[in-house]
Amino acid sequence: MNNRNIFLIMLVLFSLLLCSCSEAKVEYGNILISGDIKENIDFNKLITSLETEDIEVNGEKVSAYDFENIVNLFDSVYHQNNIYLVALDGFSNKFSSNSISDTYLFYNEVNGWCYYSEKHPVNSKIKNIKKIIVANDTDEINYEFGFNIIKNDETIHYDISELLLNKSSIYFHLDGVTKKDNNELGVMKKKEIIAFNDLDLDDIKFLLMSSEGNHEYLKSDKGYLVIDGSKVNYIDKKNSKVINDVKGVMENYPAISIMDVYSDSLYYIEKDIPVMILFIDGISYFQYKTILKKYPDLVISNIDNVKKATSVFKPVTNAGYAAMITGKTPIENGILNRDYRKLLVPSIFDSTANALLIEGNIKILDLSVETILNLDKNENGYTDDEIFESAIKEMDKRDNISLFLVHFHGFDDNGHKYGATDSKTIDYIKTIDKYVEELSSGWNGKIIMTADHGMHDLLDKGTHGEFRAEDLFVPYVIFDGGLYE
């Protein structure tokens, strides 16, 4: 046998081997699983961990996957869901997640992925499934997932599934342009979008915040939202602006924010007017309004021109505190949440001589300013009394403080322990009020009183850190010291 014949025989054998391999391999069509789950799922990767079982469909045996076992693998945001199976032609079926036992998914070369059930009506046997959407079937709201709109002090929440099922449309987005010689080719990507004018928005001006620290005042209704797994991204078609992981927008937002602490303080300090910042941790604008009604005779209830101000996202102490003392958004100053301590920009303390910080028992941010920490020496559960005593002591012995920040923690501590609206939390303001009265009467300068964030109730306790009105609105006021001598 010559070499040519040997080569031909080997070529035939190799071709037969390839054919047998290709016949053994089943090319499944892809299904995207999305909605109220913590990340999108590639269905073909998901089922590799599951075993098949033989079922009979129209008199034929097929290898199928138990659908309930599949659904149990979803990392869902909510404990009870509706499951939508969406076909290639747009036809869709809705099932409750507690009604899918003994139902199956199987693959057919002609009809793609198919759903089979003997317990549901015959039209449940949907074919060519391309999407599985998991949708919240409870009264729960998780503000961390989805998209939020704050308007008129109320928070409107959209789950991811709600956006996908009721608001979305297909848009071919220009992803880039390639060139060769004098020819250009626009590269388009198909995206599922939600137009801003399809949402419950009445204005074209809004304040947008993201988990990446964006704090953007936008003036356009030409933008749209793009669902990216469990995240929502914002794209402004007009200005080619992209903001990732948007948490929500505010309509009719306040004219001021806690970042104004920085510019307001410097304004007076440059005029040789000393400034005291009374930082009441965790008091929301709504709690302040409750205090006004319940305790109208308090000092803080009789300060004129107390305004509503916005905090920043994420509304927690580290991020709010950093925004106050830098005048910069979290994406600029580098403090996005509780995990961050080191500023990327100068703080007001770096621009001010003779500054002093009176703090609790730990340093929250890495600051170069002279700081006096205070332990709970009398073990009453609070450091505020020690903070107050330290502040009075320093005021008595120093006559050249140009910037004095006093940070009280007890109101926030009570909110976490008892609840944002509990009487034990609200009543604690009487203690803070006595400190405010004495500190302000001995201060010959301007006083800025505000907070880092607000708080909302969760069961019988309080918490914060979400894009919602209760967490993002705080009181803000500037008044003269020496008023209560």
Is 0.85 topped by the overall pTM? yes
User: For position 7, what pLDDT does the model report?
Assistant: 47
User: Does the 26-136 domain belong in CATH 3.90.420.10?
Assistant: yes
User: What does the pLDDT profile of the chain (485 residues) look like in tens digits?
Assistant: 555 555 444 544 444 444 444 333 334 578 989 999 998 888 888 888 889 999 999 889 999 999 999 999 899 999 999 999 999 888 899 999 999 999 999 998 889 999 999 988 888 889 999 999 999 999 999 999 999 999 989 999 999 999 988 877 766 666 667 777 777 776 666 677 888 878 888 878 899 999 999 999 988 777 889 888 889 999 887 777 899 999 999 999 999 999 999 999 999 999 999 999 999 999 999 999 999 999 999 999 999 999 999 999 999 999 999 999 999 999 999 999 999 999 999 999 999 999 999 999 999 999 999 999 999 999 999 999 999 999 999 999 988 999 999 999 999 999 999 999 999 999 999 999 999 999 999 999 999 999 999 999 998 899 999 999 999 999 999 999 985 44
Q: Please state which CATH class domain 256-480 belongs to.
A: alpha beta
Verify cis geometry, omega within 30 degrees of 0, for the bond prior to 434.
Answer: no
Q: Is 367 in a helix, a strand, or coil?
A: coil
Which residues in the chain are classed under CATH 3.40.720.10?
256-480
Q: Is 347 in a helix, a strand, or coil?
A: coil
CA distances from 116 to 67, 104, 123, 167, 202 (A): 9, 5, 10, 29, 45
For residue 420, give the amino acid letter: A
Nearest alpha carbon to residue 307 among 376, 383, 256, 361: 256
Which is it for the CA torsion 11, 12, 17, 22, positive or negative?
A: positive
Which residues in the chain are classed under CATH 3.90.420.10?
26-136
CA distance 141 to 109: 41
Phi-psi region of 245 (alpha: psi -120 to 50; beta: other; left: phi over 0): left
CA distances from 456 to 80, 307, 399, 462 (A): 24, 19, 40, 6
Contacts (Cβ under 8 Å, ≥6 apart) of 5? none
- Other beta carbons within 10 angstroms of residue 355's beta carbon come to 23
Nearest alpha carbon to residue 168 among 30, 35, 29, 43: 35
- Other beta carbons within 10 angstroms of residue 376's beta carbon come to 14
User: For position 172, what pLDDT does the model report?
Assistant: 66
